[in-house]
Structure 1
């Protein structure tokens, strides 16, 4: 259950944005309010973490321009979507470029470690195994 709607968010209070993936991310392709929200969050040095199919939302919002990234879409769907800079795609499981962390779904453990470090959280990395 969400704590607040997009309209209730105070952007100065946000230190991070975590976007999970879903089976059919393309159903969100016309959600302009969502893309405006993502753009607004990205205007400051907020940590943005996106896994599985959700980097599509970052690309659609223009946040991945000029950034290295990975995504849990097939290369065919990545190209077909028309929103990704294909030359910046990486086949790595997790990619961090500045304050943006992207990952494929199978890289969820490493993704969590990257996010924890980016947020300066204290945790024992040896506890988490891939």
Structure 2
């Protein structure tokens, strides 16, 4: 089975990546990675134990990396994450981030002249000093080659974009309607 790397860190926003990981399940093994193997507490208070540390990752074994948003204080100096992200990008593998997780892409030098989105206001982006302001787009999801970025509120569209990029979106209309809470075609067929 193909493998996808999911970066986690204290305060990461679980809801931002659950649609993406749910869509990949069955096609991809999701492997969590962090700066240590200590228990991680997500934004909601749920706890996670990472599978690997960054330095244990062999990038050739994975199809890409997904980086959720969260409190940047817990990831701001994680050079191993930035280096690994850059490796995936250079190998033309999926390099995806949502909400403030896009910071890791900026720090990794992945964004360059690419359009991107991030859930940080202009003052925050300027303070962090790693974003090219003229490339910022206030759009739900921005795709640029193998790089996908998204606003935090666009977690369903992010999941759809990730699954589509990886060829894991088998029933696009059904999946989109289901995860957006618009309808459940399976139930509709069952009650006819």
TM-score by length of 1: 0.91
Any runs of at least 4 consecutive aligned residues in structure 1 with deviations exceeding 3 A, and if so which? none
Query: Is structure 2 residue 72 aligned with structure 1 residue 19?
Result: no
Q: CA deviation at 1:61?
A: 1.1
| Contact 2:116–2:136, Cα closer than 8 Å, also in 1 | yes
- Report matched runs for 1:1-130 at 5 Å: 1-22=49-70, 24-121=71-168, 122-123=170-171, 124-129=175-180
Gaps in structure 2 of 5+ consecutive residues: 1-48, 182-192
Q: Deviations over 1:64-104 (max 9, x none)?
A: 10111000111210122110011100010110011111011
Secondary structure of the 1:18 match is strand
Aligned residue-pair number: 129
Larger strand fraction of residues = 2
Q: Over residues 10-42 of structure 1, what are the superposed CA-to-partner deviations in whole Å (9 max), with x where a residue is unaligned?
A: 2111102010100x2144322222211211222
TM-score, structure 2 length as denominator?
Answer: 0.63
Greater Cα radius of gyration, structure 1 or 2: 2
Q: Which runs of 5+ in 1 are unaligned?
A: none
Give the distance between the partners of 2:53 and 2:147, measured in 1 at CA: 23
